[in-house]
A and B are shown apart, each in its own frame.
Chain A
Amino acid sequence: MIRRRLLLGARLFALIFACLIVGDAEAQRRLDARGGIESFLDTQWWLGLKFGTNVTQPFANETYMVTSQINAASEEEAAKQYDDFNLIGVQIGLDATYYARGLSFGIQPMYKRIRYSYANRFSWDSSIQPEAFITDYDVEQALDLVVVPITLKYDIIKRGNLRPFVIAGVSYSFIMGANKQLDIRHTDVVLDSRVVGGEVSLNVPNEFQGFLSAFGGIGASYDVGNIRLYLDFAYNYGITSAVNKEEIFEENAFFAVGEINDDIFIRNISGSFGVVFPLKFIDNTFQSSR
């Protein structure tokens, strides 16, 4: 499944690249007709690296539980409590951007690791006292993704070294890995004892699926010689679910202890630093041939 999606992604990348090359060739013909440095700077190809960190807010569209509560009062208690934007992830990738008259169109295929966490609690009463026994689950979920974003960037200021910009676009994230770590803690309130109930850590990529996101953000670039440095911040909004619903009620090690996924949409804030290099030069010193 992952291989099939990767192949699809590779085809998409190749197609976009071909479209841009054709588009640039057409633009170049028009530039040649007008001539001059100004018209030469109207368009540019940029290629480079970008990397940064991110934080995630999982949004549970629908909640699911293995346990069906005979006591209705405890149903709410057993629901998962999600933490927002608390665990830091990383991303690193390439940036290929085509610039034309203040508007840039780019693709930034990258490896991205996102992390989020949640907890739930199960408790039991006895004739001795309520909440006689408590079991707490703490789950940390990491997703290793190959993300293919298609970005539209608009430079608010089009001249000078410092150029603030806004970005928007869509991205598709392919699931490469999905490590889930479950920590179980038991508290016997009557005996006043706390014991570790075990730790389960497994890679469960089948429980997740590739998902589509839309994103928007702001940033600024600064030109140093022929090199352009930039910093951007983006909010990614999951449009499709990251969870493979067909697998939610399939068995695995987590399932047997009552831990299953909700229907999760990923919301993520990322900050990235980029270094890009122009592929067309005014100074022919750096040209390979003329």
Chain B
Amino acid sequence: MQSYIRTLTLLVAISGLFLSCEDELDLENDSFFRIYSNRNAEIDYEPIDIVETASGYVILAATKLVDSDFKGIQIITVDKAGNFLRERTMDSEMVVPTPDMFRVDSTFYFFAMSRTTLRAQLIATDENFRNLEVTPVGNVLYPLSAAMNSGGNLLLQSYDPASLTTVISEVRTDGTVLNQAGYTIGAGQDVEPTILAHYLEPDGRQPFFCGEVNPGNYYFNGFYDFSLSLVFSDFSQEPSGVVQGQSDNGGIRAAYSITGNLFALVGFQFDENYVVPSTPVGTGTTSSSIDLFSSDQAELKTGTPAAIIPYGENHVVIAAETESREVALYFYNLTTTEVSGIETIGFINPFTLSTVRTDEEQNLLVIGTTFTSGRFERVFFRKVAASDVNGFLN
């Protein structure tokens, strides 16, 4: 009997070897993937941007309106684990939410357009996203893209159909225009149908964006001098530099100023796509985008949207859509300009990219749409935890 007891005691002790502590699911800190489903078959979503809040994240999205062809504004809040909290659709007078959304302390800012006057509106809201303060922005029409500069002011790219110019404005967070310059799209050019298609048609979206090279020197990607060009401006009458595209058949889709005139770029030339993790760009000269490109990134879809953000001290993340309807994230090492890792999102159902961001913990936040049951366009939110990203970067 004693030998039995001895053996049993031993076995109980050994079975403890298998009872290692179970890993608990901690979605606030782990990677996750969410699809925000709505059982209304007639609703579509088009996410624009995602920003971290005190309690989670806020997704700025465009959505179909019953009484307008323009897309309305929707604000979706989710918690840190990605669980849906609330959604709010704004009054249909305000349309076409413009990328990006910005947070200054606990106030969130983004631009939209009045559908009756076509004037740009600066919308400010607090963490609750209940009280929206709407301020018209000077005489700025057709807002196209926005960024925040290092001085805490907003940059707004817009189009003026009267003067046929692409306009870049520096706007204070109270809506006051501080600086402004307009650059001709080319005599006799008519880009208004293209601008309207950008607002109204899913396949008509143009790669408009703007940003800062260094304080006082800015760039925008838009129509200038008969082509879709990357234009550098210090608000002088003429651009300080231009990277010319080829009509709207070639140009830049996304750019990020790594430091000074060193840029990470995604460009296109007809059906081909080019990814350039780090290259000097003439910010004070006139050059052609085609000269910056080398080899076609064949797996990327023709006309793919693209986004570039810095990651850590020595990487950029370049996001784009692939031919197989996935969203691909390429992590480029800026020292070697080689790919350190690739993360793809999507199988079976098609996935589209809206944008990629990081939060304060350096978690990667990717939003876009997927088609549930192959037909209902819904927002997806993929968070890749910083620990997972670092796992394949190191």
Contact = CB atoms under 8 A, between A and B. Distances in A.
B37 A67 contact: yes
A187 B55 CA distance: 39
A256 interface: yes
A19 B6 CA distance: 9
A69 B84 contact: yes
A242 to B, nearest CB: 11
Given A123-B39, A125-B40, A12 B14 contact: yes
B54 interface: no
B23 A74 contact: no
A28 B80 CA distance: 65
Given A8-B18, A67-B34, A249-B33, A20 B7 contact: yes
Secondary structure class of chain A's binding surface, majority of residues: mixed
Contact of A66 (B19, B25, B33): B33
B91 interface: no
A251 B34 CA distance: 11
A127 B206 CA distance: 33
A271 B17 CA distance: 28
Interface string A97-134: 00010010100000000000000001111110000110
A68 interface: yes
Contact of B78 (A15, A68, A100, A123): A68
A78 B35 CA distance: 13
B135 interface: no
Contacts of A123: 39
Contact of A200 (B30, B348, B370, B374): B348
Given A67-B372, A124-B40, A248-B25, A212 B35 contact: no
Contact of B87 (A66, A70, A78, A170): A70
Contacts of A281: none
A283 interface: no
B41 A126 contact: yes
Contacts of A100: 4
B42 interface: yes
B22 A197 contact: no
A198 B31 CA distance: 27
Contacts of B143: none
Contacts of A200: 348
A115 B45 CA distance: 39
Nearest to A250: B31
B162 interface: no
B346 interface: yes
A65 B33 CA distance: 10
A71 B11 contact: no
Nearest to B32: A249
B36 A70 contact: yes
Nearest to A174: B18
Contacts of B22: 240-241, 245
A236 B6 CA distance: 25
Interface in A18-74: 19-20, 22-23, 26-27, 64, 66-71, 73-74
Interface string B268-288: 000000000000000000000
A186 B373 contact: yes
A172 interface: yes
Given A172-B15, A197-B374, A249-B27, A68 B83 contact: yes
A253 interface: yes
B37 A70 contact: yes
A122 B41 CA distance: 11
A210 interface: yes
A225 interface: no
A123 B39 CA distance: 6
B348 A68 contact: no
A69 B37 contact: yes
A133 B36 contact: no
B84 A249 contact: no
Interface in B361-379: 370, 372-376
Interface string A234-245: 000000110011
B78 A19 contact: no
Contact of A26 (B3, B374, B375): B3
A257 interface: yes
Given A70-B37, A257-B349, A172 B18 contact: yes
Given A66-B35, A67-B36, A150 B11 contact: yes
Interface string B338-357: 00000001111101000000
Contacts of A16: 7, 11, 14
A53 to B, nearest CB: 26
Of B35, B39, B82, the most chain A CB neighbours within 10 A belong to: B39
Given A66-B35, A252-B347, A212 B41 contact: no
Nearest to A25: B3
A125 to B, nearest CB: 5
Given A70-B37, A71-B38, A124-B41, A105 B347 contact: no
B313 interface: no
B376 A255 contact: no
Given A67-B372, A68-B35, A133 B41 contact: yes
Given A126-B42, A133-B373, A256-B347, A68 B24 contact: no
B4 A258 contact: no
Nearest to B373: A135
A70 B372 CA distance: 14
A192 interface: no
Nearest to A169: B11
Contact of A71 (B17, B40, B83, B382): B40
A122 B349 contact: no
Contacts of A197: 373-374
B10 interface: yes
A290 B87 CA distance: 86
A110 to B, nearest CB: 17
Given A122-B372, A170-B15, 5 more contacts: A70-B37, A70-B87, A212-B18, A245-B22, A246-B23
Q: List 5 tightest A-B contacts by C-beta distance, closest first.
A: A124-B41, A68-B84, A23-B3, A256-B347, A67-B37
7 contacts: A23-B7, A70-B36, A123-B39, A133-B376, A197-B373, A250-B31, A258-B372
